[in-house]
Structure 1
Amino acid sequence: MVRKRLDWIDQTKGIAILAVILFHFFQNYPERFDLVVALDRNGARFGYAAVDIFFVMAGFNTSYALASALKTANLTEISVDWKLWLKKRISRLYPTYFLAVVSSLMLYQWFGHLKINSIQNFILSCIGLAGYEFQSINPGFWFFTVILEAYLSIPLIFYFCRGQTVKILGLGILVAALTKALCWVLPQSSPSFWFLLQNNFLGSYFFQLCLGLYWGFVYFEKQSFRRIDWLAAIGTFVIGIVICAGMVLGKANITYMFGFDVLLSPILFLGLYALLQFLSQWRSLQWGMSFLSLLGLYSYQLYLIHQPLFVVALRRLNQLLDLPPYLHLGFSVLVVGLLLTIYGFLFVKTEVFIRKQTRKLVSSQA
């Protein structure tokens, strides 16, 4: 049995990486006039939500593939060689990451922005442990660290939950609740607060990962989402709106990551699924859907490489161009978009070449 590729999965990841790229563009844009500040502030919400979707997708793709393998082998219980499974995942993650490290260092070196303040942090970043204090090379490398934590955790999740999907979802809810509760208790001046709350620790995305693991099995069986999935997602979203409104009225500095991210993720994921299913019916939109699919296919690579390019390119354009603010912004969007397209294309081609040479070397030594 050949597992059918689901276009809406690639398109969902395409929307997510596009949201992240736009957020980081305005975050790094050097001229802080009103429009840029507004786009940065509002884009942050979409950027954070997009990262949540990536972790739902990581879980979903994993369980959907496992369900497909079970059906092919006519098995009723999950039986996986987790050691081999992890080896395959890590062998896919690390070559791209190491290439991203090298390309980021080359960009900074060529444009004179390479500064290493801590050798320890630099080494930790190079080996993929770019946590809260260790983002020495590329601020986007935290994503690799947390996605690595996610894959290392998946075998443990299935072991403790005995492969029972409802227990996996329950575990995700429990860990998310404990993580957010700790954030409420800890002072915001504490490094532990930011480690737990923000983008450096799997706890912030554990529910999203487990939700994806749960829904991957559900979708494989039904080839759609159930009424109960929609009702639960809408219910948690309404609760999240109430909590968020209360936090805003209470003048909390951070509203999204105190728990609204957990309550928003289910409806956001299902909403994107419904939207993409609807748009796929329109023949005139196929070019746009194909573009989103392409972005989704290379979303991991784009996540790892785009921020250093923004840093060096936007600074350089700001030095070279003497234009009115809005014209400067529009021109920068076009130029940086073109540069990212070229950079991404060359990066992917180099990655494919390295993987082919590695496979040849392994085959010759076998």
Structure 2
Amino acid sequence: MEKPKMTWIDSLKGIAICGIVMVHSDTLGLPWLLEKIGDAGKCGVQLFFLLSSYLTFVSLEHYFNTKTSSRAISFHHLIPWWAGKFIRLIPLYYLALFIYALFLGGSSYWLGTQEHITAQNVLAHLFFLHGLFPHYADSIIGVEWYLGTLAIFYLLAPYLYKIINSLEKSAAFFLLSAFLCRILSHFIYRIFPEGKDSYIYSAYAGTFNFFAQFPVLIAGIMLYFLFQGQLLEKITRPKLISYVLLVFASVMIAGQAFGQNSLFLISSETLFGLWFFLIAISQKICPLIWTDNKLWGLLGKYSYPIYLFHFFILAIYDKMNIPATGSALLDWCIKYVAALLASLAVSVILTKGFDRPMVERLKRML
């Protein structure tokens, strides 16, 4: 059974959101090393998927333990669990959809030849179905493809919980999915026509579609079963093992960022998920001060609203025409820190003043 508070989870979320804001802060034009580091920030989404999957199985364990027959729950009995999950997503997500559509007109880059947000697009977003359509997946907020994939996982998670009931099964699922989902993603790309929107179809097949992220989600399930057992508690030198895992995984992430981006049939997304899997284990064994502290924890606590609204903050910053300092690096640092702090401030206000009251109101309506 998990402890009530696991600060390392919020801290890892904080690190992930810093990477995501970094890549969206436009690192092009920076010195080569910093440009590569900035571009690697996009892999923070895989860390979100890993932790979300792990926490979803923890949630299912708690939910099923309140029922008379664990792992034997009907569709009808699963509705409250699904409702609870989506209710926590809806208020801030719907607010973000409204703000981005009204003030920014959506993400024109990912709309492609569709050019405008259609009624069908909006409906798909409202029902979390946008992840099923390449032109919708990331077309309003610019980062909502993550929620489209997460929503599908939430729907499947209770059934995966019934099927995958051991560490061995989760490992087998991971190994199979790592190869099969890469092949499937290739075939998904092949069904779309060549043309002006090829970049959208390529991104959808390689990143935005559910199967591209499925192995990472399964890695989160592996974490759940690994942490359930007594294996980690038998480690006699936890701090040393934690350091070794953290350093090794960090070197592997750097290798992907600066060099090889995939391994035969295993995608870069899956590999990033695997390295984050090792980092999560290291933090579970022995959280380290520079990876688990109050700063990362604060950012992680508000990582969801920061994720949703940081693009809007960056758009406002760009329209302010802040005078250049003459140094591309300094200009970027100012933009990045300002966007991160402003996004955090907005997130705290929205969470306390809007999200929590709305979530409670929606819960009472059930």
Is this a same-fold pair by TM over 0.5?
yes
Structure 1 vs Structure 2 CA RMSD: 4.0
Q: Distance in 2 between matches of 1:125 and 1:74?
A: 36
Q: Which stretches in structure 2 are left out of the alignment for 5+ residues?
A: 106-110, 236-240
Aligned to 1:14: 14
Match of 2:300 among 296, 303, 306: 296
TM-superposed deviation, 1:169: 3.3
Match of 1:216 among 193, 215, 224: 224
Give the conservation status (yes or no) of the 8 Å contact 2:63–2:81: no
Q: Deviations over 1:174-211 (max 9, x none)?
A: 2331121245566695665532211x212111112122
Aligned to 1:262: 270
What SS does the corresponding residue of 2:143 show, helix, strand or coil? helix
Give the conservation status (yes or no) of the 8 Å contact 2:143–2:307: yes
CA separation of 1:333/1:152 partners in 2, compared to 1, >3 Å: closer, same or farther? same
Q: Distance in 2 between matches of 1:70 and 1:225?
A: 25
Give the conservation status (yes or no) of the 8 Å contact 1:62–1:216: no
CA separation of 1:147/1:262 partners in 2, compared to 1, >3 Å: closer, same or farther? same
Matched, 1:306 2:310: yes
Aligned to 1:180: 182
TM-superposed deviation, 1:93: 1.8
Q: Deviations over 1:38-86 (max 9, x none)?
A: 53443222322x21221111221122344456678797x5344433321
* TM-score where L is the length of structure 2: 0.74
- Aligned partner of 1:95: which letter? P
Matched, 1:52 2:46: yes
Matched, 1:352 2:356: yes
Give the conservation status (yes or no) of the 8 Å contact 2:14–2:298: yes
Aligned to 1:78: 71
Aligned to 1:171: 173
Q: Deviations over 1:188-240 (max 9, x none)?
A: 95665532211x2121111121221232133133283788xx9xx99x98xx8
Q: Which stretches in structure 1 are left out of the alignment for 5+ residues?
A: 110-114, 249-253
Q: Distance in 2 between matches of 1:156 and 1:66?
A: 10
Q: Distance in 2 between matches of 1:15 and 1:66?
A: 26
What SS does the corresponding residue of 1:34 show, helix, strand or coil? coil
Give the conservation status (yes or no) of the 8 Å contact 1:57–1:212: yes
Aligned to 1:112: none
- Aligned partner of 1:44: which letter? D
TM-superposed deviation, 1:258: 5.3
CA separation of 1:339/1:322 partners in 2, compared to 1, >3 Å: closer, same or farther? same
Give the conservation status (yes or no) of the 8 Å contact 1:309–1:340: yes
Aligned to 2:86: 90
Matched, 1:328 2:336: no
CA separation of 1:332/1:66 partners in 2, compared to 1, >3 Å: closer, same or farther? closer
Give the conservation status (yes or no) of the 8 Å contact 2:186–2:205: no
TM-superposed deviation, 1:145: 0.6
Where does 1:127-146 land on structure 2 (aligned, <5 Å)?
127-131=127-131, 132-134=134-136, 135-146=138-149
CA separation of 1:223/1:294 partners in 2, compared to 1, >3 Å: closer, same or farther? farther
Give the conservation status (yes or no) of the 8 Å contact 1:64–1:220: no
- Aligned partner of 1:53: which letter? L
Give the conservation status (yes or no) of the 8 Å contact 2:57–2:157: no
- State, as a whole percentage, how many aligned pairs show the same letter: 19
Where does 1:227-242 land on structure 2 (aligned, <5 Å)?
none
Q: Distance in 2 between matches of 1:182 and 1:93?
A: 29
What SS does the corresponding residue of 2:217 show, helix, strand or coil? helix
CA separation of 1:213/1:156 partners in 2, compared to 1, >3 Å: closer, same or farther? same
Q: Distance in 2 between matches of 1:71 and 1:106?
A: 44
Aligned to 2:56: 62
